[in-house]
Structure 1
Amino acid sequence: MTQQQISLPAKLINGGIAGLVGVTCVFPIDLAKTRLQNQRSDQQVYRNMMDCLIKTVRSEGYFGMYRGAAVNLTLVTPEKAIKLAANDFFRHKLSKDGSRLTVFKEMLAGCGAGMCQVIITTPMEMLKIQLQDAGRLAAQQRKLAVLPAMKFGAGNALLSCSYSGGPAPVLRVSATQITQELLRTRGIQGLYTGLGATLMRDIPFSMVYFPLFAHLNNLGQPSEMEKAPFYWSFISGCMAGCTAAVAVNPCDVIKTRLQSLKKSTSEESYNGVVDCISKIMQKEGPGAFLKGASCRVLIIAPLFGIVQVVYILGVGEFLLGQSPYNLYTS
């Protein structure tokens, strides 16, 4: 079988559009995940995802759920484009004469994709986390402010007012201001804080996700030369994303903690991945590494289901006047 050449520009377009569509749909859940992962057990502001979203809307308004969305939507286009196109590129290079890849080579292609994407993922999530977590810090300060009053019997009324009295004053800082401050104080490496933890998360994620998606998607193909139906690709993306998300959630917790620059007075700082793991184990126990896991599943499952469907549609090939090509059918 003659191996068909892939069009890298078309794959980049597909990945960019897929990322924009997917992130727009699931961003509020991503905000809840960040806030749940960052809160400490002894300073609990949100009980669960729904409680976080409800309190966010009450205290910051509807658009509070989209804090950090602008930077994410801006950078998710190159991020998802690199991730998906790199996986296709490595699969293409590892495939001989269009033959089906072994599981090891599929994992190797996923590894390459995960390594490539962190160029954009690390600074994107570094900025996004600062913007997303500002509301949690403000809510925690309000809660701490009313604790002394609770001793005198006025706590319940004050606590309820803190979430129902309209949008609360949350410090509005833009991604541009954060970037300028990081570059001024830490240089370019400031934007890549948590790079090691990001690699720890994204490489295993891609090594699990891409091979699993390929095999699940192949189960829905009528024949070797036909694509699986769109609904089957969506289900396959959801199932593979869900599995990979749970597998790497501890790494995501570590990454989120390391990339959160602003902390309350009683929250500890971390000096690298090992120090972060050690302090979380000592002070919060192993259960802390599963914080935000349900949110992460609700983000990644539909996100990658949507992403794969949009990606397989071949919008990039259509715009460039090329015939669509899907490596997962080879």
Structure 2
Amino acid sequence: MPVEDSNEVYTQYSLLHSLVAGGVAGVVVDIALFPIDTVKTRLQSELGFIRAGGFRGIYKGLAPAAAGSAPTAALFFFSYESFKRYLCMTTGVTNSPYIHMVSASCAEVLACLIRVPVEIAKQRCQTLGNTHKTTAMQILWRAYRTEGLRSGLYRGFGTTVMREIPFSLIQFPLWEYFKLHWTATSGMQSTPFTVALCGAVAGGIAAGLTTPLDVAKTRIMLAEQGTATKKLNARNVLASVYRERGLAGIFAGFAPRVLWITLGGAFFFGFYDLTSRLLGGNFAADNTNH
């Protein structure tokens, strides 16, 4: 096989692998760590932790989260790898934190097209309480019928993007940096475990720093129709939360969010790397012979 054709085929396979590996990693993380996410959401809810459900029914909302996790994660990683590959080829620069930042930010915007409706369904399920039997599809249909596409299904889209982009600007350059310098620093080869460790550290740092943006996003998504919170932007919501509860309110859910994303980063990047190796091992080995 000619080298040019081989590289083109390898690129197509590697992008396909990123699509599949991202989907697998997303499902594993959302199902394994869902209870922590529920606790975090209820802590951030305007109702307060106890009224939002406390520790009861911590798996409420799992169905929409599980259904949306695979396509969201798959779209993100496929877009991330595609943007990164394109920018590296265009600029002639590799392993640049700026390329990682831009690629992750663009991928986050695309992934939010799926993530936002899923988050609305999931978080409203998580905070409805045990007496409500409303399904995720009923929640989304009611949101669309009463509030429309933009204010219903995509309420909080801008706030979610505002949360995800700073998060990715911190997480992905750190993850890529840790991976790149792991072997030189430790003297050991990169493995799915070390990739998972790098993802855990990068995710935990990014999660802690962006908790206030997550609080604003949660408040806006959970706001009832016609309430003042629904119409506010992230800055005004955070100002209101600070007046009510001070700094503790701004960083509500800090511990479970950091724990959730630290563990999630380990699972997510570890399974992503493991699945990529399993999918691409034979082809990569064959490709090196041409």
Q: Same fold (TM over 0.5)?
A: yes
Using the alignment, how far apart are the partners of 1:204 and 1:230 within structure 2?
26
Q: Which residue of 2 aligns with 1:285?
A: 246
Select 1:130's aligned residue among 117, 120, 124.
124
Runs (5+) with no aligned partner, structure 1: 47-51, 58-63, 136-168, 325-330
Using the alignment, how far apart are the partners of 1:193 and 1:68 within structure 2?
18
Using the alignment, how far apart are the partners of 1:114 and 1:306 within structure 2?
19
Q: Is the 8 A contact 2:121 2:137 kept in 1?
A: no
Q: Which residue of 2 aligns with 1:71?
A: 64
Using the alignment, how far apart are the partners of 2:195 and 2:277 within structure 1?
18
Structure 1 length normalisation: TM-score? 0.74
Cα 1:320–1:294 change in 2 (3 A) is: same
Q: Is the 8 A contact 1:118 1:199 kept in 2?
A: yes
Select 2:23's aligned residue among 5, 9, 16.
16
Q: Is the 8 A contact 1:242 1:297 kept in 2?
A: yes
Q: CA deviation at 1:268?
A: 6.4
Using the alignment, how far apart are the partners of 1:99 and 1:269 within structure 2?
44
What letter is aligned with 2:11?
A: Q
Using the alignment, how far apart are the partners of 2:99 and 2:21 within structure 1?
23
What letter is aligned with 1:271?
A: K
Q: CA deviation at 1:222?
A: 6.6
- Structure (1 or 2) with the greater helix fraction: 2
Matched, 1:28 2:35: yes
Q: Is the 8 A contact 1:11 1:316 kept in 2?
A: no
Aligned length: 272
What letter is aligned with 1:254?
A: A
Q: CA deviation at 1:279?
A: 1.7
Identity of aligned residues (%): 27
Q: Which residue of 1 aligns with 2:160?
A: 198
Runs (5+) with no aligned partner, structure 2: 286-290
For 1:220-259, list aligned pairs within 5 A: 220-221=182-183, 228-259=190-221
Cα 1:222–1:285 change in 2 (3 A) is: closer
Q: Which residue of 2 aligns with 1:93?
A: 86
What letter is aligned with 1:170?
A: T
Using the alignment, how far apart are the partners of 1:111 and 1:269 within structure 2?
26
Structure 2 length normalisation: TM-score? 0.84
Q: CA deviation at 1:184?
A: 1.2
Q: CA deviation at 1:262?
A: 4.5
Q: Which residue of 2 aligns with 1:45?
A: 50
Cα 1:96–1:268 change in 2 (3 A) is: closer
Cα RMSD (Å): 2.9
Structure whose CA Rg is larger: 1
Q: Is the 8 A contact 1:245 1:296 kept in 2?
A: yes
Using the alignment, how far apart are the partners of 2:252 and 2:228 within structure 1?
17
Q: Is the 8 A contact 1:130 1:261 kept in 2?
A: no
Moved more, 227-236 or 11-20: 227-236
